[in-house]
């Protein structure tokens, strides 16, 4: 994951039923979040403290006492790559279960305590990490942190809750199976990563989710939730001394080290490969892409900027200009770079009328080829720098956003000073750098393409699936 492009965090399963009551009943919490918008940003030179608890647990802390609010983000190495081979979807299932009862509190009692204390707690699983999101008012911090401790150390996994969450996941999978963009992405990962765990969907499949039991959930939590791979970021109304005690109280009971299965590096996704999934829909969707640079590659930042110019900059991007604005071929088209721990991808998506999908992909391939050959213009690079540096502060306009940035900076080993130097790194990229990286990154004839719909034409002869 990239601290340049923060991952999209999903709200978790079964949280909607409480979201409205949080904001309606706890106006102090809502006002606190709004107040922090102006309080913290890179421009305000926030101080990041490294706090180590008596038990040896480390966290990054930004104190902000203007409002009575504390936000915490934490992550464990693992994610869906730690799912058992025949039980794909376990990590995601666990992310929906941790607030469904813990300790002596069953699901209803636990959720009532969350609501009464205005505690926001949810979890998510990506391919590489298991993420926790936590927020509380200062006045309720003691009880709220105790609920978090219970969720991580004493989850119940009661059968009635397991069955209910399973049905929610299965309903979500049914929805995804009829969403062409989701289907295109799922099939793309299968082609790109073949027999590697990255090829498997994070949410699992109907078959694997149906086979997951409480014992699988308990085993995952026991193996993955450990102090040796734990990263923590805290922002808000708490000082270092208090946080040090909280770290031991919440996380100190976890095993010192996890029991993670060794996962090999993924082979770089290489095309050309194409697959068509027929679906009776009025338009077609395609995902395209190939390998990219991992986060520790010296050319990663230049590749990120290159992608912004090519397909990541919305209506200012070349793909949008060539495919939609000039030719009216597509409703939407975009691209992105995404570094995983064991691989990295450059990928994009286009949605258009079924009779235009082949032409759209041909235009995309042509524009990728032109960018690889000639690179961007000086003006394009300058506009990219202005936007990417100018918009960076928007990632720090609430304590929750700050905590999210800090956790990903830790996970990517970017260093305590990354926020201070990030814009300088972008401004230091020259036009020659981006042109060189364009030749290294972009492979117009090496795209992996998945098409979903009933196209009347395609750029080649895709394998039907």
Closest CA to 437 of 289, 300, 316: 300
Closest CA to 3 of 422, 426, 424, 433: 422
Asked whether the beta carbons of 64 and 399 are under 8 A apart, the reply is yes
DSSP strand pairing (463-464 vs 273-278): parallel
Spatial CB neighbours of 411, under 8 Å, sequence gap ≥ 6: 1, 75, 129, 231
SS3 annotation, 238-275: CCHHHHHHHHHHHHCCCCCCCCCCCCCCCCCCCCCEEE
d(CA 279, CA 419): 45
Return the minimum-mean-pLDDT range out of 44-53, 124-133, 149-158, 224-233: 44-53
Closest CA to 173 of 202, 134, 135, 142: 202
d(CA 179, CA 395): 30
d(CA 217, CA 417): 37
Region 219-223: mean pLDDT is: 97
DSSP assignment of 67-131 equals: SSEEEEEEEEE-GGGGS-TT-TTHHHHHHTTTTS-BTTB-HHHHHHHHHHTT-EEEEEE-SSEEE
Region 284-292: mean pLDDT is: 97
Spatial CB neighbours of 328, under 8 Å, sequence gap ≥ 6: none
The model's pLDDT over 138-193, given as tens digits with 9 standing for 90+, comes to 999 999 999 999 999 999 999 999 999 999 999 999 999 999 999 999 999 999 99
What domains can you pick out in the chain, each with its CATH number?
16-251 (3.30.830.10), 273-464 (3.30.830.10)
DSSP strand pairing (448-453 vs 283-291): antiparallel
The model's pLDDT over 308-353, given as tens digits with 9 standing for 90+, comes to 999 998 888 999 999 999 999 998 999 999 999 999 999 999 999 9
- The separation between the first and the last C-alpha atoms of the chain, rounded to the nearest angstrom, is 30
Strand order across the beta sheet in which 49-52 lies = 49-52, 58-63, 230-236, 69-77, 129-137, 120-125
What is residue 348's predicted lDDT score, i.e. its pLDDT? 97
The model's pLDDT over 365-398, given as tens digits with 9 standing for 90+, comes to 999 999 999 999 999 999 999 999 999 999 999 9
What percent of the chain has pLDDT above 70? 88
**pLDDT tops 50 at residue 43:** no
d(CA 304, CA 300): 6
What is residue 45's predicted lDDT score, i.e. its pLDDT? 58
Asked whether the beta carbons of 145 and 250 are under 8 A apart, the reply is yes
**pLDDT tops 70 at residue 463:** no
Bigger pLDDT: 455 vs 252 = 252
State the alpha helices, DSSP H only, in 391-430. Answer: 399-411, 418-427
What is residue 42's predicted lDDT score, i.e. its pLDDT? 54
Region 48-75: mean pLDDT is: 97
What is residue 115's predicted lDDT score, i.e. its pLDDT? 97
Asked whether the beta carbons of 161 and 13 are under 8 A apart, the reply is no
Region 287-295: mean pLDDT is: 97
């Amino acid at each position: 994951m990239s601290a340049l492009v923060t991952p999209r965090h999903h709200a978790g399963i079964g949280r909607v039923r409480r979201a409205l009551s949080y904001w309606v009943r706890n106006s102090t919490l809502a006002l606190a979040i709004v107040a922090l918008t102006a309080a913290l940003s890179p421009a305000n030179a926030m101080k990041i403290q490294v706090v180590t608890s008596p038990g040896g647990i480390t966290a990054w802390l930004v104190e902000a006492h203007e409002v009575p609010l504390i936000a915490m983000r934490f992550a464990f190495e693992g994610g869906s790559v730690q799912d058992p081979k025949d039980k794909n979807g376990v990590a995601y299932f666990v992310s929906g279960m941790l607030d469904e009862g813990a300790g002596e509190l069953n699901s209803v009692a636990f959720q009532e305590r969350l609501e009464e204390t205005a505690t926001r707690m949810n979890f998510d699983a990506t391919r590489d990490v298991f993420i926790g999101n936590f927020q509380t008012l200062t006045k309720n911090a003691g009880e709220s942190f105790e609920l978090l401790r219970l969720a991580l150390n004493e989850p119940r996994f009661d059968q009635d809750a397991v069955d209910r969450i399973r049905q929610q996941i299965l309903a979500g999978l049914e929805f995804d199976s009829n969403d062409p963009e989701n289907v295109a992405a799922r099939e793309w990962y299968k082609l790109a990563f073949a027999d590697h765990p990255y090829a498997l969907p994070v949410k699992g499949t109907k078959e694997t989710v149906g086979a997951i039991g409480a014992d699988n959930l308990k085993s995952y939590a026991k193996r993955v939730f450990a102090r040796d791979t734990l990263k923590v970021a805290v922002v808000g109304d708490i000082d270092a001394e208090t946080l040090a005690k909280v770290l031991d109280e919440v996380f100190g009971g976890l095993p010192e080290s996890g029991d993670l299965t060794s996962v090999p590096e993924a082979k770089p996704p290489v095309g050309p490969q194409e697959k068509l999934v027929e679906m009776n829909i009025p338009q077609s969707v395609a995902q395209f892409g190939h390998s990219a640079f991992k986060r520790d590659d010296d050319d990663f930042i230049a590749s990120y900027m290159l992608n912004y110019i090519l397909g990541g900059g919305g209506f200012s991007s070349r793909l949008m200009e060539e495919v939609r604005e000039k030719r009216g071929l597509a409703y939407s088209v975009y691209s992105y770079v995404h570094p995983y721990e064991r691989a990295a991808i450059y990928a994009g998506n286009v949605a258009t009328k079924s009779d235009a999908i082949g032409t759209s992909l041909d235009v995309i391939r042509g524009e990728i080829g032109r960018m690889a050959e000639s690179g961007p213009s000086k003006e394009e690079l300058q506009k990219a720098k202005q936007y990417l540096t100018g918009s960076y502060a928007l990632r720090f306009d609430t304590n929750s956003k700050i905590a999210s940035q800090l956790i990903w900076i830790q996970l990517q080993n970017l260093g305590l000073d990354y926020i201070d130097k990030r814009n300088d790194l972008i401004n230091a990229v020259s036009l020659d750098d981006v042109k060189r990286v364009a030749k290294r990154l972009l492979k117009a004839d090496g795209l992996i393409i998945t098409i979903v719909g009933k196209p009347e034409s395609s750029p080649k002869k895709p394998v039907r699936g």
